[in-house]
């Protein structure tokens, strides 16, 4: 998993990369323009921050998106900087789409909640268990899934987690959470038309902006 974020207006010329959530604290090591973050518990890599990032990747200054999807070549350049700084834990490119069409194959009530549901959602190559609180969620419908590794427009990261004691691997999205044009501002996930696409297809945001016209 590789999550990359660049927001020059908000954070300056800093490229943030994350490969795992911080649990139990982190250790920070800085060498030159590279900042390494590792788990305080086991030393596993959490991510790197690249200062003066546009010197490594000049194309960053033209990026408008907060979340970036780095190419193999861009990741290779970052890893060169990582190694030059003396670090040996490298980044791995991730080309798996994070916002996809999902099909709710199974749904049951959460045993410890009066409003949550436990769903099994087909996303093409796998089935994800997702705990969902949307009041309109239903069985056998197509939805928009933010898979682990997705960054919401708000900046919220989607990691594997638990909701009221039940493991959950992603989020079923509302239109307002994705900033879709004219999306209702009340709770409720997007139920996609059956012909919008196949389970596992990357969600087409341009097409999605026509859903509420």
Angle, CA 88 vertex, CA 86 and CA 93 arms, to 5°:
120
**From first to last of its 213 residues, what are the pLDDT tens digits of the chain?**
899 988 888 888 999 999 988 877 899 999 999 999 999 988 999 999 999 999 999 988 765 556 788 999 999 999 999 999 999 999 999 999 999 999 999 999 999 998 999 999 999 989 999 999 999 999 999 999 999 989 898 888 899 999 899 999 999 999 999 999 999 998 999 999 999 999 999 999 999 999 998
User: Check: CATH 2.40.50.140 for 99-208?
Assistant: yes
Q: Are strands 166-168 and 161-163 parallel, antiparallel or unpaired?
A: antiparallel
Domain covering 3-84 in this structure, CATH number:
3.30.1940
Task: Please answer whether residues 209 and 180 qualify as being in contact, where contact means their C-beta atoms are separated by less than 8 angstroms.
Answer: yes
Task: Please answer whether residues 172 and 102 qualify as being in contact, where contact means their C-beta atoms are separated by less than 8 angstroms.
Answer: yes
Strand partners, 163: 166
Q: In the chain, what are the domain boundaries?
A: 3-84, 99-208
Region of 164 (left: φ > 0; alpha: ψ -120 to 50; beta: rest) is left
């Amino acid at each position: 998993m590789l999550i990359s974020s660049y927001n020059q207006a908000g954070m300056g010329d800093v490229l943030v990369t994350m490969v795992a959530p911080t649990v139990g604290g982190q250790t920070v090591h800085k060498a030159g323009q590279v900042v390494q973050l590792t788990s305080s518990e086991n030393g596993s890599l959490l991510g790197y921050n690249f200062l003066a990032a546009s010197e490594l990747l000049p194309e960053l200054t033209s990026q408008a998106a907060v979340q970036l999807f780095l190419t193999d070549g861009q990741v290779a350049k970052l890893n060169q900087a990582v190694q030059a700084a003396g670090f040996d834990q490298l980044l791995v490119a991730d080309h798996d789409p994070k916002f996809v069409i999902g099909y709710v194959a199974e749904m049951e009530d959460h045993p410890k909640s009066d409003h949550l549901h436990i769903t099994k959602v087909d996303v093409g190559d796998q089935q994800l268990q997702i705990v969902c609180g949307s009041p309109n969620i239903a069985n056998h419908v197509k939805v928009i899934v933010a898979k682990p590794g997705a960054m919401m427009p708000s900046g919220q990261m989607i990691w594997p987690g638990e909701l009221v004691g039940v493991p959950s691997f992603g989020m079923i999205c509302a239109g307002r959470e994705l900033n879709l044009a004219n999306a209702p501002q009340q709770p409720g996930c997007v139920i996609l038309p059956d012909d919008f696409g196949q389970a596992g297809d990357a969600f087409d945001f341009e097409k999605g902006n026509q859903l509420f016209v």
